[in-house]
Protein backbone atom coordinates (compact mmCIF):
# COMPACT_ATOMS: atom_id res chain seq x y z
CA UNK A 1 0.00 0.00 0.00
CA UNK A 2 1.24 3.50 -0.77
CA UNK A 3 2.01 6.08 1.90
CA UNK A 4 -0.99 8.21 2.88
CA UNK A 5 -0.42 11.98 2.96
CA UNK A 6 -1.68 13.55 6.18
CA UNK A 7 -0.22 17.05 5.64
CA UNK A 8 1.76 18.63 2.81
CA UNK A 9 3.85 21.79 2.64
CA UNK A 10 6.45 23.11 0.21
CA UNK A 11 9.21 22.16 2.68
CA UNK A 12 7.90 18.78 3.89
CA UNK A 13 5.11 16.27 4.32
CA UNK A 14 3.62 14.15 7.07
CA UNK A 15 2.71 10.67 5.86
CA UNK A 16 1.35 7.41 7.24
CA UNK A 17 2.55 4.01 6.05
CA UNK A 18 0.05 1.38 7.27
CA UNK A 19 2.32 -1.49 6.18
CA UNK A 20 5.16 -0.68 8.60
CA UNK A 21 3.11 0.92 10.39
CA UNK A 22 4.63 4.36 10.97
CA UNK A 23 4.27 8.11 10.73
CA UNK A 24 6.79 9.64 8.33
CA UNK A 25 8.19 13.14 8.30
CA UNK A 26 9.54 13.71 4.79
CA UNK A 27 11.59 16.86 4.35
CA UNK A 28 11.67 18.38 0.84
CA UNK A 29 13.91 21.37 1.53
CA UNK A 30 15.05 23.78 4.23
CA UNK A 31 12.40 24.65 6.81
CA UNK A 32 12.79 27.72 9.02
CA UNK A 33 12.32 27.37 12.78
CA UNK A 34 8.58 28.00 12.76
CA UNK A 35 8.00 25.65 9.82
CA UNK A 36 10.20 22.92 11.30
CA UNK A 37 8.62 23.03 14.73
CA UNK A 38 5.08 23.31 13.36
CA UNK A 39 5.49 20.27 11.12
CA UNK A 40 7.15 18.22 13.88
CA UNK A 41 4.30 19.13 16.26
CA UNK A 42 1.68 18.29 13.63
CA UNK A 43 3.37 14.96 12.90
CA UNK A 44 3.41 14.14 16.62
CA UNK A 45 -0.31 14.94 16.83
CA UNK A 46 -0.88 12.60 13.86
CA UNK A 47 1.18 9.94 15.65
CA UNK A 48 -0.91 10.27 18.81
CA UNK A 49 -4.18 10.06 16.86
CA UNK A 50 -3.05 7.04 14.83
CA UNK A 51 -1.60 5.29 17.89
CA UNK A 52 -5.13 5.04 19.29
CA UNK A 53 -5.98 2.77 16.33
CA UNK A 54 -2.59 1.22 15.51
CA UNK A 55 -0.21 0.02 18.20
CA UNK A 56 2.71 -0.20 18.29
CA UNK A 57 3.37 2.54 15.78
CA UNK A 58 6.77 3.65 14.48
CA UNK A 59 8.35 6.96 13.49
CA UNK A 60 10.41 7.48 10.36
CA UNK A 61 12.32 10.65 9.50
CA UNK A 62 13.01 10.86 5.76
CA UNK A 63 15.88 13.35 5.80
CA UNK A 64 17.16 12.67 2.25
CA UNK A 65 16.48 16.28 1.22
CA UNK A 66 16.76 17.89 4.64
CA UNK A 67 19.43 20.51 5.13
CA UNK A 68 20.94 22.06 8.22
CA UNK A 69 19.18 22.45 11.54
CA UNK A 70 20.10 25.39 13.71
CA UNK A 71 21.46 24.77 17.19
CA UNK A 72 18.20 26.27 18.55
CA UNK A 73 16.17 23.69 16.59
CA UNK A 74 18.44 20.90 17.83
CA UNK A 75 17.99 22.15 21.40
CA UNK A 76 14.20 22.29 20.92
CA UNK A 77 14.19 18.70 19.66
CA UNK A 78 16.08 17.43 22.71
CA UNK A 79 14.42 19.46 25.43
CA UNK A 80 10.84 19.90 24.17
CA UNK A 81 9.96 17.55 21.31
CA UNK A 82 11.77 14.32 22.31
CA UNK A 83 10.29 14.21 25.84
CA UNK A 84 6.82 14.69 24.33
CA UNK A 85 7.52 12.01 21.71
CA UNK A 86 8.69 9.61 24.39
CA UNK A 87 5.58 10.29 26.46
CA UNK A 88 3.49 9.56 23.34
CA UNK A 89 5.15 6.15 23.01
CA UNK A 90 7.94 6.69 20.49
CA UNK A 91 10.89 4.45 21.34
CA UNK A 92 12.55 3.96 17.94
CA UNK A 93 13.12 6.40 15.10
CA UNK A 94 14.24 5.26 11.68
CA UNK A 95 16.22 7.98 9.91
CA UNK A 96 16.83 7.89 6.16
CA UNK A 97 20.30 9.30 5.49
CA UNK A 98 20.42 12.78 3.99
CA UNK A 99 21.83 13.28 0.51
CA UNK A 100 23.77 16.37 1.62
CA UNK A 101 26.41 16.88 4.26
CA UNK A 102 24.39 19.49 6.20
CA UNK A 103 21.49 17.10 6.65
CA UNK A 104 23.91 14.31 7.58
CA UNK A 105 25.48 16.50 10.27
CA UNK A 106 22.05 17.47 11.62
CA UNK A 107 20.90 13.83 11.80
CA UNK A 108 24.18 12.68 13.40
CA UNK A 109 23.96 15.42 16.02
CA UNK A 110 20.34 14.53 16.75
CA UNK A 111 21.19 10.84 17.11
CA UNK A 112 24.15 11.44 19.40
CA UNK A 113 22.24 13.76 21.73
CA UNK A 114 19.19 11.50 21.75
CA UNK A 115 21.19 8.36 22.58
CA UNK A 116 22.97 10.08 25.48
CA UNK A 117 19.87 11.61 27.07
CA UNK A 118 19.03 10.57 30.60
CA UNK A 119 15.51 12.05 30.35
CA UNK A 120 14.09 9.60 27.77
CA UNK A 121 15.11 6.48 25.89
CA UNK A 122 14.59 6.81 22.16
CA UNK A 123 16.73 4.79 19.76
CA UNK A 124 17.45 6.58 16.47
CA UNK A 125 18.95 4.40 13.72
CA UNK A 126 20.10 5.76 10.37
CA UNK A 127 19.56 3.67 7.26
CA UNK A 128 20.83 4.35 3.71
CA UNK A 129 17.44 4.10 1.94
CA UNK A 130 13.75 4.56 2.67
CA UNK A 131 13.18 0.83 2.03
CA UNK A 132 15.91 -0.14 4.52
CA UNK A 133 14.54 2.27 7.13
CA UNK A 134 11.01 0.92 6.73
CA UNK A 135 12.24 -2.66 6.96
CA UNK A 136 14.28 -1.92 10.11
CA UNK A 137 11.34 -0.13 11.71
CA UNK A 138 8.89 -2.91 10.77
CA UNK A 139 11.21 -5.54 12.30
CA UNK A 140 11.66 -3.42 15.43
CA UNK A 141 7.90 -3.00 15.81
CA UNK A 142 7.36 -6.75 15.42
CA UNK A 143 9.95 -7.41 18.11
CA UNK A 144 8.21 -4.94 20.38
CA UNK A 145 4.92 -6.76 19.80
CA UNK A 146 6.54 -10.09 20.68
CA UNK A 147 7.80 -8.70 23.99
CA UNK A 148 4.44 -7.18 24.97
- Give the tens place of pLDDT for each residue, 101-127: 999 999 999 999 999 999 999 999 999
pLDDT value at 1 more than 90: no
Average pLDDT of span 130-146? 94
Report the predicted TM-score, pTM, of the whole model to 2 decimal places. 0.95
pLDDT tens for residues 42-62?
999 999 999 999 999 999 999
Q: Is the separation of the CB atoms in 39 and 25 below 8 Å?
A: yes
- How many residues would you count in the chain? 148
pLDDT tens for residues 13-53?
999 999 999 999 999 999 999 999 999 999 999 999 999 99
Question: What long-range pairs does 114-117 form, CB within 8 A, spacing at least 24?
Answer: 114/78, 114/82, 117/78, 117/82
C-alpha span between 132 and 46 (Å, rounded) = 23
CATH number for the domain running over 4-147: 3.30.750
Q: For CA atoms 50, 51, 52, 53, give the dihedral sign.
A: positive
Query: In this structure, how many other beta carbons lie within 10 angstroms of the beta carbon of residue 89?
Result: 13
Amino acid sequence: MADITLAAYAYGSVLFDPDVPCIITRWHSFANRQQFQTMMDEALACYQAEARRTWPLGWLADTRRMSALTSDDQHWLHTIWNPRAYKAGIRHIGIVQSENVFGQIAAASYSTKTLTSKDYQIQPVTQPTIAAAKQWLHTTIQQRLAVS
